[in-house]
Structure 1
Amino acid sequence: MKLPASYSLGELVRYFLRLGTLGFGGPPALVSAMHRDLVVDRQWITEADYREGMALAQLAPGPLAAQLAIYLGYVHYGIWGATLVGIAFVMPSFIMVVALGWVYVRLGGLPWMQAIFYGIGAAVIGIIAIGTYKLTTKTVGTDQLGWVLFGLSAVATAVMESELLWLVLGSGVIYWLVKTPPHFIRTGIGSSFAPFLPPLEGLASDSILWKLALFFAKAGTFVFGSGLAIVPFLYGGVVKEYGWLTEQQFLDAVAVAMITPGPVVITVAFIGYLVAGFPGACVAALATFLPCYLLTVLPAPYFKRWGKHPGVKSFVNGITIAAVGAIAGAVVVLARRQLVDLPAILMALATMGLLYRFKKLPELSIIGGAAVLGLLLRYVA
């Protein structure tokens, strides 16, 4: 029986509003922050509920951090909790990204933003590395099988530069078979996770907004893994297939998502703004996040019903371990692209050292210092 919540819905919404406003670092940092704040510090969410949310976020397509936030809102407050938490988490970064899109269009580019991103990007690598380290030690601990599955997932993600769904699912199956060998086989569990695609095909026309809606609905429905996994899909569509953006505009869109707080996938709003103004930003964001919301809320009751079964718990633990491994691999991928010279490497290492030494040091202060340092290195040094 589920214990009553030790927090109000308002408190949870305010937490996610703050995380969406100040939470830098993309999926690895955000899911680590949710674990630290809600499970360890506040103890609003149990470890079991958090792991169930991580597993469901991995099983279903869409951005990892947003789906986990929606699920955690659902745990004690159902549909209302999931809905309000989802809005609170995404809305701050949406507003920021649209504002930056407005500035971008009127100034014709963002060279100053690229300079800021140089410093912030290096600091972000340090932030997500420390967050991933803490999440890994908590999730895997001394579990030898867990470390094997973690390592496989991390290496595969680092090499392939994307999360492999079959490996995540396989890790869950292996962990289940080894830890709790089944005396019977249940069928049908998980069969309800069929992809949901809004019925946009029949509505598509020559309207650019309908084309945006159809494309981004597909992105939100069929791209698995963290928000970082959506970037190659978006590149293939908006640059190569449709030609909506140039190469540089697309890189700037990704940079905007990385230097603003909240989910990385909010880059879709910036892209939508460049293509069709404010209506384009709204359509792109809604079309991307609606499947994410539905694919979290619809399976949630089944997950809650079966989640306490020993076999299901082992399956969920295996998936969670693989998910954390994929996050660690994503840190390596980001580091390869961001730490391009010695100053960037030193800033990342300094960030890691500061956060490891001073547990309560606000990440926002590090982000601000890194932004200033990036500008100085690019325009003064």
Structure 2
Amino acid sequence: MESAAIGEEVPARDAAGRAPPRPVTLAEALPVWARIAALSFGGPAGQISVMHRVLVEEKRWISESRFLHALNFCTLLPGPEAQQLATYVGWLMHGTRGGLVAGGLFVLPGVVAIMALSWIYALYGNVGLVAGLFFGLKAAVLAVVAQAVLRIGRRALRGPVMVALAALSFVAIFFLDIPFPVIVLAAALVGYLGGRAGLPQFQAGGGHGSAAADDGPYLLADAELPQEHTSPGRTARVLALWAAIWLLPVAAILVLLGPGDIFGQIAVFFSKMAMVTFGGAYAVLTYVAQQAVDHYGWLRPGEMLDGLGMAETTPGPLIMVTQFVGFLAAYRAPGALPPLVAGTLGGLLTTWVTFAPCFLWIFVGAPYVERLRGNRALAAALAAITAAVVGVILNLAVWFALHTVFAEVRPVWLGPLRLDVPNLASLDPFALALTLGALVAVFRFGAGMLPTLAACSAAGVALRLSGLV
């Protein structure tokens, strides 16, 4: 069932005398989702932070506990958790149409930006202006991600047990190279057992249903259930519809062009990738780079890093780097098509098979997860997963910092421990100076995301055009 607006029954004012926001139609929500999409820089940590600030703190459309519950579920899914979180909240507010609007708009700026940069890259190479823009933006993005780690950590790590889970998660992935899915499963098991045992540390960590955790009132009350039900018939219909939307184009390409054609390869490879991308973009980039460079020969090694730079410094999910990969793959094997046309189609096909499954996971699974919010064991498991994800995001921030400031970073193994050791001689003083400047601007002076991005990008362009970098 669809709903034009939510919150028809207006809850009473809270103890501070605040009334909940008025009901919001989908048309009224659309510019807010567009704003979130335009500000979705900085990878998943920064994007989730932006959504939290707008949806929970500013608009008060959804409570903190419900926001975290949705985030916990999205971290379990393959694919970009930030885009899926936007889809989830949009679905909660306005049903399937709301999910499509929120999730679709979240991707759209990245699609346009990466496509434009892919054209420039194919036609002109890594020109000085573009390279300088990326150089400066990396420093700003690092500051945004660091800020997001702290903001999310403060909200998700309630109590020493959750802090310990985050720390163990960081050690496991940064020093022991344990795969992200293993970390998630271990955290879920610990949280589930703690919740079943009724341990208060896990109940407090989740924050679900805790009045203290939410500085109410909110448009979407915690007790309110979505209108879409969880009957087997509804689940089968949604599953069939979105599986067809995702896979019918893949089947048509394979029938018409064959699996050996470049478009057949793109459709099959990225469809498989969409089912195994647990842990966000960084967790799968090594696999994508290895296959695209070594197995298929679509890209040269340095080009994957160029694509990552594009995705890191444009709005949208970091996994949008795959559009750049699909673009270059088809651009270099266009067949009878003009290379730029083939590249454009290859990039769009990659985006389609990457993101169509995301809507399937949310529209099928979210109704069940919503009705299990009162389950203490499940809530504790999801809260433990969120704590573990904080540790993983911290790992990504450290990884990003090392590769931003140093030109060379190599893994060194000490028994079971792996250390990413930078070559100190490869320190880039200009990258370090820009990074420190961005961190001071964000943490000392409270500079906003867009001013920081603009200042660093301008500095990067100036340094590049002057020949200093």
TM-score, normalised to structure 1's length? 0.89
- The offset of 1:111, in angstroms, is 4.2
Amino acid at match of 1:158: F
Answer yes or no: is 1:370 the counterpart of 2:370: no
Indicate how the Cα distance of structure 1 residues 34 and 238 shifts in structure 2: closer, same or farther if over 3 A, else same. same
1:90–1:262 contact (8 Å) kept in structure 2: yes
Q: Which of 177, 184, 199 does residue 168 from structure 1 map onto?
A: 184
Amino acid at match of 2:58: D
Query: Larger Cα Rg: Structure 1 or Structure 2?
Result: 2
Indicate how the Cα distance of structure 1 residues 56 and 92 shifts in structure 2: closer, same or farther if over 3 A, else same. same
1:69–1:85 contact (8 Å) kept in structure 2: yes
2:412 aligned partner:
none
Q: Which of 36, 54, 58 does residue 37 from structure 1 map onto?
A: 54
Query: Helix, strand or coil: the match of 2:175?
Result: helix
1:54–1:323 contact (8 Å) kept in structure 2: no
2:442 aligned partner:
355
Answer yes or no: is 1:249 the counterpart of 2:303: yes
Aligned equivalents of 1:128, 1:57: Cα separation in 2: 19
Aligned equivalents of 1:245, 1:209: Cα separation in 2: 15
1:269 aligned partner:
323
Residues 102-113 of structure 1 aligned to structure 2 (within 5 Å): 102-113=119-130
Aligned equivalents of 1:323, 1:163: Cα separation in 2: 12
Indicate how the Cα distance of structure 1 residues 371 and 328 shifts in structure 2: closer, same or farther if over 3 A, else same. same
Aligned equivalents of 2:281, 2:86: Cα separation in 1: 13
- The offset of 1:153, in angstroms, is 1.4
Structure with a larger share of its residues in helix: 1
- Choose 265-274 or 9-18, whichever is displaced more: 9-18
2:195–2:376 contact (8 Å) kept in structure 1: no
Residues 120-269 of structure 1 aligned to structure 2 (within 5 Å): 120-141=137-158, 143-159=159-175, 164-181=180-197, 198=247, 200=250, 203=255, 204-269=258-323
Answer yes or no: is 1:302 the counterpart of 2:368: yes
| Superimposed CA distance per residue, residues 26-66 of structure 1 (whole angstroms, 9 cap, x where no aligned partner) | 11111111112211222111122212221221111111211
Q: Which of 69, 75, 81 does residue 52 from structure 1 map onto?
A: 69
Indicate how the Cα distance of structure 1 residues 100 and 71 shifts in structure 2: closer, same or farther if over 3 A, else same. same
Indicate how the Cα distance of structure 1 residues 75 and 157 shifts in structure 2: closer, same or farther if over 3 A, else same. farther
| Superimposed CA distance per residue, residues 112-155 of structure 1 (whole angstroms, 9 cap, x where no aligned partner) | 323222221112111110111011011113x0100000111123
Answer yes or no: is 1:26 the counterpart of 2:43: yes
TM-score, normalised to structure 2's length? 0.73
Indicate how the Cα distance of structure 1 residues 157 and 349 shifts in structure 2: closer, same or farther if over 3 A, else same. farther
Amino acid at match of 1:213: A
1:188 aligned partner:
none
Aligned equivalents of 2:179, 2:86: Cα separation in 1: 20
Identical-pair percentage: 28
- The offset of 1:337, in angstroms, is 0.8
Indicate how the Cα distance of structure 1 residues 162 and 263 shifts in structure 2: closer, same or farther if over 3 A, else same. farther
1:189 aligned partner:
none
| Superimposed CA distance per residue, residues 295-354 of structure 1 (whole angstroms, 9 cap, x where no aligned partner) | 222111110111222222111211111122211111111111112233323322332222
Indicate how the Cα distance of structure 1 residues 110 and 284 shifts in structure 2: closer, same or farther if over 3 A, else same. farther
| Superimposed CA distance per residue, residues 137-184 of structure 1 (whole angstroms, 9 cap, x where no aligned partner) | 11113x01000001111233333678611212221221232344169x
Aligned equivalents of 2:301, 2:167: Cα separation in 1: 34
- The offset of 1:227, in angstroms, is 2.1
2:431 aligned partner:
344
Stretches of structure 2 that go unaligned for 5 or more consecutive residues are 1-5, 9-21, 200-234, 331-342, 407-427
Stretches of structure 1 that go unaligned for 5 or more consecutive residues are 184-191
1:115–1:374 contact (8 Å) kept in structure 2: yes
1:187 aligned partner:
none
Amino acid at match of 1:347: L
Q: Which of 61, 64, 71 does residue 88 from structure 2 map onto?
A: 71
Query: Helix, strand or coil: the match of 2:384?
Result: helix
1:163–1:224 contact (8 Å) kept in structure 2: no
1:84 aligned partner:
101
Amino acid at match of 1:321: A
Answer yes or no: is 1:326 the counterpart of 2:392: yes
Aligned equivalents of 2:280, 2:368: Cα separation in 1: 23
- The offset of 1:249, in angstroms, is 2.2
Indicate how the Cα distance of structure 1 residues 221 and 84 shifts in structure 2: closer, same or farther if over 3 A, else same. same
| Superimposed CA distance per residue, residues 243-273 of structure 1 (whole angstroms, 9 cap, x where no aligned partner) | 0111222222111111211111111222222
1:186 aligned partner:
none
Indicate how the Cα distance of structure 1 residues 118 and 110 shifts in structure 2: closer, same or farther if over 3 A, else same. same
2:24 aligned partner:
7
Higher relative contact order by CA 8 Å / sep ≥ 6: 1 or 2? Answer: 1
Indicate how the Cα distance of structure 1 residues 19 and 242 shifts in structure 2: closer, same or farther if over 3 A, else same. same
- The offset of 1:274, in angstroms, is 1.9
2:379 aligned partner:
313
2:42–2:145 contact (8 Å) kept in structure 1: yes
Residues 111-122 of structure 1 aligned to structure 2 (within 5 Å): 111-122=128-139
